[in-house]
Amino acid sequence: MDKQSETTAKTSFDENFSSSSLQNDGKESQHSSTHDGLHSAEELRTIIREAYVPRISVICSRDADEFAISKGFPQGFWELLYPFGDRVRGKVRRRNMQDNMVTLEKTSLQFVPVDSLESHLSDVPVVSIRDILTSKNRTLVLPEAPSKYTFGIHYKNLERWAWNLAHEESYEMSTAMYIRQLLTGMPVASFETFSHPVAHLVVVTSHNPTPFESLRELINSLTQISFPAFVSNDIIYFFVYVHDEDQHDIELSMAIFDTMLQTFGERGYFLRLHSQKATLDYEHTIPFPCSSWLSAEERLLMLNGSQKEQHLLFESDADSIKRLVSHIAFNGVIPHLDKCIRIWDDQYASPRRGFTGKLFFASKKLISTQNNSHNSNFFASSNVYRPDSIEAYLRRLADYSFMLRDYTHANQIYEIASKQYANDDAYLYYAAASEMIVVTEHIIHLDRPYMSLTNKLRLNECMQSAMENYSNKPFNSYYHAARCFLLLGQFLSSLPNPRVDDAANWNAGLVFSKRLGPVGRAIIFQQTYELYRRTERTNIDSSTEMKRHRKTAFWCIMAADAWLRCHISFRARPFVDTAKEFYTQIAWPDLQECTAKLDDVDISPKSQEK
Tell me the pairing of strands 384-385 and 378-379: antiparallel
Q: How far is CA 198 from CA 72, 149, 165, 364, in A?
A: 29, 18, 34, 31
- The closest of 570, 557, 574, 493 to 171, measured between CA atoms, is 570
- Note whether 239 and 269 are within 8 A (CB): yes
Which three-class secondary structure state does DSSP give residue 183?
helix
The 10s digit of each residue's pLDDT in 494-542 is: 877 778 888 999 899 888 888 889 999 999 999 999 999 888 766 555 5
- pTM score of the predicted model: 0.88
Q: What is the pLDDT of residue 37?
A: 53
Alpha helices per DSSP H over 167-293? 175-183, 211-220, 250-264
Which residues, 6+ apart, have CB-to-CB distance to 455 below 8 Å?
A: 441
pLDDT at 40 over 70: yes
Q: Provide the strand spans (E) within 221-371.
A: 236-244, 268-273, 285-287, 312-314
Q: What is the DSSP string of 62-107?
A: HHHHHHHHHTT-TT-HHHHHGGGGTTEEEEEEEE-TTS-EEEEEEE
Q: Which residue has the higher pLDDT, 166 or 588?
A: 166
**610, pLDDT greater than 70:** no
* Alpha-carbon distances of 177 from 33, 194, 254, 520, rounded to whole Å: 8, 21, 45, 11
Q: Can you tell me the mean pLDDT for 564-573?
A: 91
Whether residue 14 has pLDDT greater than 70 = no
Burial 216-250 (b: 16+ CB within 10 A, else e): ebbbebbeebbbbebbeeebbbbbbbbbbbeebee
Beta-carbon count within 10 A of 320 CB = 19
> Which SS3 state, helix, strand or coil, does residue 160 take?
helix
**Residue 131, C-beta contacts closer than 8 angstroms, at least 6 positions apart:** none
Distance of CA 6 to the CA centre of its chain: 26
pLDDT higher than 90, residue 26 = no
Backbone angles phi, psi at 496, to 5 degrees: -55, -40
Q: How confident is the model at residue 157 (pLDDT cuts 50, 70, 90)?
A: confident
CB 266 within 8 A of CB 3: yes
- In which element (H, E) is residue 57 found? strand 55-60
Averaged pLDDT, 271-295: 93
Each residue of 371-415: pLDDT tens digit? 544 557 898 888 899 999 999 999 999 999 999 999 999 999 999
pLDDT of 432 above 50: yes
What pLDDT does residue 18 have? 36
% of the chain at pLDDT higher than 70: 81
Q: How far is CA 146 from the centre of its chain?
A: 23
User: What are the pLDDT digits (tens) for 188-241?
Assistant: 999 999 999 999 999 999 999 999 999 999 999 999 998 888 999 889 999 999
Higher per-residue pLDDT: 545 or 513: 513
283: how many CB neighbours lie within 10 A of its CB? 7
553-557, Cβ contacts within 8 angstroms, sequence gap of 24 or more:
553/578, 553/579, 553/582, 553/583, 555/504, 555/525, 555/528, 555/529, 556/529, 556/582, 557/583, 557/591, 557/594
For residue 264, pLDDT over 90 is answered with yes
Do 333 and 198 meet the contact criterion of CB atoms below 8 Å apart?
yes
Mean residue pLDDT across the chain: 84
Going from the C-alpha of 480 to that of each of 92, 353, 543, the distances in angstroms are 32, 29, 39
Least confident of 74-83, 461-470, 540-549: 540-549
Rounded to whole angstroms, the Cα distance separating 409 from 353 reads 12
Residues belonging to the chain: 610
483 vs 522: CA distance, rounded Å: 17
Closest CA to 418 of 434, 397, 400: 434
Q: What is the pLDDT of residues 94-123, one digit of tens each?
A: 999 999 999 999 999 999 999 988 755 555
DSSP 530-598: HHHHHHHHH---HHHHHHHHHHHHHHHHHHHHHHHHTT-HHHHHHHHHHHHHHHTTS--HHHHHHHHHH
